[in-house]
Every structure is written in C-alpha cells, then in structure tokens.
A and B are shown apart, each in its own frame.
Chain A
C-alpha cells in the first residue's frame, strides 16, 4: 500500500523521544484541566452564596421518581469505560506513533478487498504524515472517552458519552481494523470478528439510549438475543467447508486456526503465555477437526440458548460462554495487547460484557432511584428541554451545584479536545511533520563560510554561476542523473519544497549539480528533469559542466562521487547546503532520503522550506 508506511523505524529514538515529549506535555495539560476544574468547583462551592447554589432556573413542579441506572447499562458503561482507558494507555506505547500504520493497520488491511485497502491507506497516510499528533490524539481521545463513560452515569452527558463512543469506535473499526476484517477471507469469531471496535460502538449506542428506554423491554430484546443471533451466524461460518478450519494441517502446512495461533506465538510476551499458544497450536494441528467441531457446537448452543430468553437455561450457559471466551482470549487471540503495538484487548472481553449485560437486562427489573431527581430528568422534553438544560448549565451556580462526577466528565471532554484539536489542525496541513526527516538524517548542521564559487551549465545550456544567484537563498544539492533510487526522491523533495515556498519561490533557487563522473552530459540532466517532472519548475537548476569543472566543485563542497565496479551505481555524498542571500553557506543538511515514502519526501520538503524561510527572514 503506497503511502501508508512512513518507512521510519518504529523504534527510531528521535521519533520515540518526540512522542514521549508530546505525551508528557499534553499529559500535564490534561492534569491541569482537572486541577483547574476541581479548584473552580471547590472554590465556587465554598465561596458562592448558598442562595445561588440552590437557585433553579427550571421550575420543578412535581419531583417525579426517577430510575436508577440499570445494572446492564452500568456493566456496559463501566466495562467499556475501563477498556477505553486501557486502550488509550496502550496507544501511548513508544512504537505506536510510527508503527501503527505500517505494523498494525497495513497488515490487517492486506487481506481485505482493494477498496478497503484504498480507504484504509488514505487514513494510514494521513497518520504517517503527522505521527506525533495522531499518536497523541489516539491516546487522549480514548482516555478521555473512558473517563467520561466512568464519570457520567446518567443524564445528557452520559448519553453524549455513548454517542462519542459510537463515533470514535466506528472510526477505529473502519480505519484501524479495516472493518474488523469482515470483508477479508477467514472471518471467524475465534479471531475476533466482527472487530472489537464495532462492539465498542454498539455498546456506545446502547449507552446513548434515552432513559425512557431503560424502563422498556428494548434492552432485554436487543442485547442477549442480538449476541445469540450473532453467535449462531458465527457457528455456521465456522462450520462452512473449504475455509481451512476443519483441518489441523493441510498439505503439510498448519490449517487456518493453527497458522493463526502459530503466528501469534513469537509476539514478545511472557514465556508462559507463548508456551500456552504453542501448545494449543500443536493440539489444533493434531486435532483440528475436533477443535473446530467443539467451536461450532459451542457457538451454536450458546447462541440458541441466548435466544431462548429463559434465565434458568441462560445462567449456566453464560458462565460457560465466559469460560470459552476467556480461553479463546488467552489461547487464540493471545490477549491482543502484547508486543509493543497491541492496541486493545481484542473482542472477547467486550463479548463477555455484552453477554453479562444482556443477562442482567433480562433478569433485573428497573428500580427507582434513592437519590433526588436531577433537574435534567424533569425538564421539559424536546428542544425546549435542551434549551432549559443549557440555561441551567450556564447559570452562575451550575458548577457549584454540580456533582463531582459531572465535573470530572467535563474534564474528560477537555482531555478529548486536547487530543483532537492538534490532530485536526495537523491534518489540515498536507505537509508531513519535519520530525520524519530529522529521524532519518538528524538536525541541520549550522555553518558560516563563503560558499565556494562555481560556473556551470544549466539544463537549458545556459551558463550559471553562484555569483549570478546572489540575493537569493540557494538550496544546493548533488544528484546523479542516472541514479535509480535516492536521487529521484531528493529531486521530488526539492520539487515539493518549491511548491511549498509559494510566494517565496522567486527568492529561493533550487540547485542541483551533477554527481556522476561518467553520465554528466547535458542530455542526462535534461532526461532527468523530464523523468522527474522538473521541466516546468522555474527556480530549478540542474547544473553540469566538463568533468574537471565538476570535480572542482565536488572537491570544494566535500562531495565524493566514486565510480563503483561491476554494475553498481555511482556512490556519492548526499548532502544539501543552504546558502543565504550573501552567498554564505549557513547549513549543511544530511540528505539521505531514507525510505523515500510519500511521508518522508513531504517531510524533507517541509524541512527545505523551513530552512529557506528561516534564511529569508534572518536577512
């Protein structure tokens, strides 16, 4: 998938340090949000007149009894709240910023249809352009959602938390999990179908149900039967012939299930766990038919029982389902969060939460709350209701009279915004972060000496000297016109830099000098320009000359250009010099283009633009 992979080593120290730094800074801001909100809340409670605190902006004609949060909802809200926080913490792992698109998203999408890959590639590319902001955003958004769910048990804030869960869950499901792999071959409940994030989204939708639905039979009709129907479908799929699940081995190779678990075993994790996986893989290879038969029967029985609606039948089967899910979680899904790039604990814990919540919805009748009715519960319905709630929230005494968990929920929203806003701002820029270029070649080396003069011939056959470029910033590099790998990438970096400079283009000259002692004739600079689409770039000069003239320039700028034997490319120094308007070399930039992905090319272009603009502004 072109573009998705930034090509940077996932453990690159520059990127890891920058990610840690970003998380630390944003973490302090998150802490500050909670501290400020807490202090404000305490101060208002302490110092605001009692009359203001008790003031009500909405008449409360008849305090009606309200329902306590039903236990099924509590299970979903608290359970998924904890999972979101756990996922957020996993997103803070050092490899995540750079590794998620290439090591997680791309392999998952690889077996999906082309249109899925295209969609996912778009998101992965966006991530790889701004890995710091995207990585940090994922951390804070997920931690924020988790805190929000945990601290908002009822009312509009709680329902809103459910809706946000739906939204972010779907984003993760589509772009992070490639639709949970439902369009890829080998779909099975054992591997986590239909994708954990879709379960998060469904849980969010249930949490977002209005309180009137709590009293209805909707939850009991939706939850457990829904899980039952799904499991029956998965049982059929599991039994479907020709998908490789019935064989432990086929043609000397592990079957579908065994190959999956075998691929999980090498994941960095405690030895005990990997030994369990390995043992199960061996067992499945030896008894593939029996394992699959057990899975099919178990899924079918659980599904049918969940559909029956009979609590006495369901209770033992629910326990068995929990055991089955935990076994699958340990032996097949391998917990899902090891290896430094695990994003979540996979789908079995969410399934257990759903089944438990469904059982509770079936057996536990809604109970009236012991606590007094909240204003929101008794406010008028519809638009008028929202207006009155908003008025109440903005009233001077609203914060003072708010409960502590509501204050925490507002803080959680602040944490989400803390992650989302920088990411949105970064995504608005089509230019990659310069951290990628710095991770490849380090920072610019400051210099200050008169640039060695040269007089050469440009691609149009005109004589060009460095003196003739006086008054302009010159970004000077050395390119081999018949290079098959790096030089075309560097040329694209210069071309993009020219586009990024916009109005400054007229004050910056992009200059390359041939770095090949064999193929240095004019025809080669022209062919190279044609190849790279540089013929229309006004401030681009590709200079060449006699071999002796070129060798003199190479020596003056410390460039090595060696002919290598036996069909190898010319080996030459990859460096760029930034020359200011007075003709002084101000920076030397290491310019190995590294992996040469769309993200790194864009990053180097941004670095060139920034350097040129810095010199322009300092003159």
Chain B
C-alpha cells in the first residue's frame, strides 16, 4: 500500500470509528419517558356507606410479578372490627374499584390485568358476605378510584369511566353498556371548551341521579365537573377560590354520600400544589369549598371519604381531615408505618390501615387524638404466584 492510500484509508477508519462512537452515545441518550397529564391517583382508599366503612388496599408482593393482590375490607356499621371481604372469582392484580350507593349495595370492579381486557363486576348487598356477578363492562376500567359510580336511589344505574376516557352507563340488570361521552366529545361542548378539558379522572352522580364526569382543565381556575342534563353536558363544578384562580385544577375524586356530592380537587402542580374539597347540595352548582391544604410537592397517596361527607387525604406520610363545616384541615398524629389509608367513622374515631406484605394492622386514633393504638391484625391468605 502506498503512503497516500494508507493515510486515506486510515482516515476513513478513524472516521468510521468516530461515527461508531457517536452512535453509541446517541443510543444511550434516547432513553426517557413522557410524563402523565393527569396526576396518578392511588386507588387505595376508604369509603363510608350505610353498610359500614370499606377499604380497598393493595397487599402482597411485587406488582411486576403479579404478586400484588387488592383486598377489600369492611368495618360493618356499628362495629369496630374489620373483616376481609375481597370479592371472589377474578384475579384482582389490576386493581379493585369499589362503588357504593345510598343503600347497602356495594359494587366491585376488577380492573383487568395481563391478558384480560374487560372489567368483571360483582355486587354485594350484605356487607361483603355474599357476592354475585354482574354483567361485565366491555372495556378496561380507568385506573382511578372514582372510575365507577352507583346512582343514588333505587334504579342503581352504573356509570363507568374506561381507560380510553369513555364514560359508559348501564343498569345492573342490563347486559349492555351505552357510551355517554368521551373526553373528546365532552371537550367539544361549550362547557368543555370553557374548561379546556384535557383528561377525565372521575365519574359520579349528583344526589338527584344526574351523571357527573370530572377531569383536568387546561384553563386555570376552572374545576372541570360536568353534569349530564338530558344529553347536554353542562358545567357543574364549584367556583375556585380567588387564591387558586391562577392554577390549573384537576378533580381527583367524586363521591355521592347521602344528600351531597363530595369532590376532592387539586390546584396547581409540583411544589405549589394544594388540595381542597367541595360539597354540593342536591342540585348542581351549589358548592361549599374547603380551605386549601398545601402539600408542598408531595403526592396524594390516598384519599378517603367518611359517611358524613368528611374527607381525609394522605400526602407525604401525613394525614389531614376536613368536614363540610370545618374551617380548616385537621392534621392527624404521625401515621403508623405502612399506613395505606385512613378510614373515617360516622362519628367515632378514625382508623389507620397499615399494610406489610400480607398483614393488615389496624391502628385506632386514641381518644383525644393524641396517638394511635393497635387494635387489630388481619393476616390475608394471599396465593402468591397464582396469577403467573
């Protein structure tokens, strides 16, 4: 090889090596994930109803290996002891969503996991002692604790929010679900445009039986709650307090309890985020707003509702409770380790439900609210590996 040729070939080799080196670097930099639009809402929760207080908790082991199993517990009205009443028949690794009506009926929805793509439904009318299957929802339920709602009253219609942001409604007796709205159709309505609706996060009913859908508005200072009045969706959310008017607002939860609908909302994001609750009267548009609870950037790990419309929120390992009539959020004592949710009683003390693997420990708020006392331990017979 002549010298010029050798030099040229060497340069080509060096160039190729440089390119190869560059390619390697690029490949490493291409990793990354898009952020979620709606804040992830934990499905660990507690709900008060006429039958008692319910709690859905995730227990067991790794979700990646399908060893996480969602459990349903109930503290029957008038008692202080929790019972395991997880509905049978379906693997619930995808999550368990509970909806309670005004009566004793509670309906459980198994969010699909692995190869299952639709949502089995099951109901109880005796506090979880006996369960009977309902016709399934023909789609995957959205991953939010407010994805399923039961209409108050006797008709018992169900409203479900699917993972494709479609709201579907049916009656328990009917096998067919009917689409009520999608995030796209709702966003195209005058009320949706005013809010700049980005995503749906909750479904519910007004005490009068009017379906409600709620989500996240891109226009600041607007709480995106919409009521279906005969096929026409209208804004039904509360007026956001002036101090939060510049913030984006997301509805995290909706629940109808007695004669009121309760909503938990988040204003702002990150370090400026705060939570506030809202209580409606029987009709839409009349809301009572709570003071804001600053969360200093901490994520909401659980929100729960008491039977009298009280709301508890756990953020950053701290729990705070508020009622419609209260002027401020009341902080609870430091939570016991592993607390997944706080269950509120009708008038009695709150329970902190702590999970360690397959063991549930119930801690009761001591009289005077100074600390927690361990009152019960429930060992759950989890079948590890059964969903492989």
In the complex, B93 has a CB within 8 A of chain A? yes
| B-side interface residues, number (CB < 8 Å) | 56
Is the Cβ of A565 less than 8 Å from the Cβ of B381? yes
Residue of B nearest to A240 (CB): B21
In the complex, B330 has a CB within 8 A of chain A? no
Residue picked from B96, B114, B115, most chain A C-beta under 10 Å: B115
In the complex, B36 has a CB within 8 A of chain A? no
Cβ 8 A contact of B14, one of A111, A232, A482? A232
Is the Cβ of A186 less than 8 Å from the Cβ of B24? yes
Is the Cβ of B17 less than 8 Å from the Cβ of A236? yes
Is the Cβ of A232 less than 8 Å from the Cβ of B133? no
The interface residues of chain A lying within 8 Å CB-to-CB of B118 are 527, 530-531
Query: Which one of B4-12, B197-205, B332-340 is at the A interface?
Result: B4-12
Interface string of A493-537 (1 = CB under 8 A from B): 000000000000000000000001111111110010011000000
* Distance between Cα atoms of A530 and B93 in the complex (Å): 22
* Distance between Cα atoms of A521 and B358 in the complex (Å): 31
In the complex, A485 has a CB within 8 A of chain B? yes
Residue of B nearest to A571 (CB): B386
The interface residues of chain B lying within 8 Å CB-to-CB of A522 are 175
CB distance from B275 to the nearest CB of A (A): 30
* Distance between Cα atoms of A482 and B89 in the complex (Å): 8
Residue of A nearest to B84 (CB): A566
Residue picked from B122, B131, B387, most chain A C-beta under 10 Å: B387
* Distance between Cα atoms of A520 and B135 in the complex (Å): 10
In the complex, A488 has a CB within 8 A of chain B? yes
Is the Cβ of A570 less than 8 Å from the Cβ of B89? yes
Residue of B nearest to A237 (CB): B17
Cβ 8 A contact of B89, one of A225, A488, A518? A518
Is the Cβ of A185 less than 8 Å from the Cβ of B27? yes
Is the Cβ of B24 less than 8 Å from the Cβ of A185? yes
Is the Cβ of B383 less than 8 Å from the Cβ of A566? yes
Is the Cβ of B135 less than 8 Å from the Cβ of A523? yes
* Distance between Cα atoms of A482 and B114 in the complex (Å): 11
Cβ 8 A contact of B382, one of A111, A187, A225, A566? A566
Residue of B nearest to A231 (CB): B13
Q: Are A484 and B112 CB-contacts (below 8 A) given A185-B24, A236-B17? A: yes
In the complex, B90 has a CB within 8 A of chain A? yes
In the complex, A22 has a CB within 8 A of chain B? no
Is the Cβ of B383 less than 8 Å from the Cβ of A233? no
* Distance between Cα atoms of A195 and B6 in the complex (Å): 24
* Distance between Cα atoms of A571 and B88 in the complex (Å): 11
Is the Cβ of A518 less than 8 Å from the Cβ of B131? yes
Is the Cβ of B27 less than 8 Å from the Cβ of A187? no
CB distance from B334 to the nearest CB of A (A): 30
* Distance between Cα atoms of A115 and B380 in the complex (Å): 46
**Majority DSSP secondary structure for residues of A touching B:** loop
CB distance from A533 to the nearest CB of B (A): 11
Is the Cβ of A521 less than 8 Å from the Cβ of B386? no
Interface string of B262-286 (1 = CB under 8 A from A): 0000000000000000000000000
* Distance between Cα atoms of A221 and B110 in the complex (Å): 71
In the complex, B37 has a CB within 8 A of chain A? no
* Distance between Cα atoms of A90 and B120 in the complex (Å): 51
Is the Cβ of A488 less than 8 Å from the Cβ of B116? yes
Interface string of A346-376 (1 = CB under 8 A from B): 0000000000000000000000000000000
| A-side interface residues, number (CB < 8 Å) | 51
CB distance from A14 to the nearest CB of B (A): 21
* Distance between Cα atoms of A47 and B92 in the complex (Å): 81
Is the Cβ of A524 less than 8 Å from the Cβ of B120? yes
Is the Cβ of B18 less than 8 Å from the Cβ of A307? no
* Distance between Cα atoms of A11 and B322 in the complex (Å): 61
Interface residues of B in 186-205 (CB under 8 A from A): none
In the complex, A567 has a CB within 8 A of chain B? yes
Cβ 8 A contact of A569, one of B6, B18, B91? B91
In the complex, A86 has a CB within 8 A of chain B? no
* Distance between Cα atoms of A411 and B196 in the complex (Å): 76
The interface residues of chain B lying within 8 Å CB-to-CB of A111 are 27
Is the Cβ of B138 less than 8 Å from the Cβ of A484? no
CB distance from B114 to the nearest CB of A (A): 4
In the complex, B376 has a CB within 8 A of chain A? no
Is the Cβ of A236 less than 8 Å from the Cβ of B14? yes
In the complex, B347 has a CB within 8 A of chain A? no
The interface residues of chain B lying within 8 Å CB-to-CB of A485 are 91, 114-115, 387-388
Q: Are A518 and B93 CB-contacts (below 8 A) given A230-B13, A523-B175? A: no
The interface residues of chain B lying within 8 Å CB-to-CB of A518 are 88-90, 122, 131, 133
* Distance between Cα atoms of A520 and B114 in the complex (Å): 20
In the complex, B69 has a CB within 8 A of chain A? yes
* Distance between Cα atoms of A519 and B122 in the complex (Å): 9
Residue of A nearest to B90 (CB): A482
In the complex, A382 has a CB within 8 A of chain B? no
Is the Cβ of A482 less than 8 Å from the Cβ of B86? no
In the complex, A46 has a CB within 8 A of chain B? no
In the complex, A258 has a CB within 8 A of chain B? no
Q: Are A524 and B136 CB-contacts (below 8 A) given A485-B115, A531-B117, A566-B380? A: yes
Cβ 8 A contact of B9, one of A225, A309, A565, A570? A225
The interface residues of chain A lying within 8 Å CB-to-CB of B92 are 567
7 inter-chain pairs at a CB distance below 8 angstroms, sorted by A residue, are A232-B10, A243-B24, A309-B1, A484-B113, A519-B90, A564-B383, A569-B91
Assuming A185-B28, A482-B120, A564-B383, what are 14 further A-B pairs, CB within 8 angstroms? A111-B27, A184-B24, A233-B13, A233-B14, A236-B21, A237-B20, A483-B115, A484-B113, A484-B116, A518-B122, A521-B133, A524-B135, A527-B136, A566-B71
A-to-B contact residues, CB < 8 Å: 111, 113, 182-187, 221, 225, 229-230, 232-237, 240, 242-243, 303, 307, 309, 482-485, 488-489, 516-524, 527, 530-531, 563-571
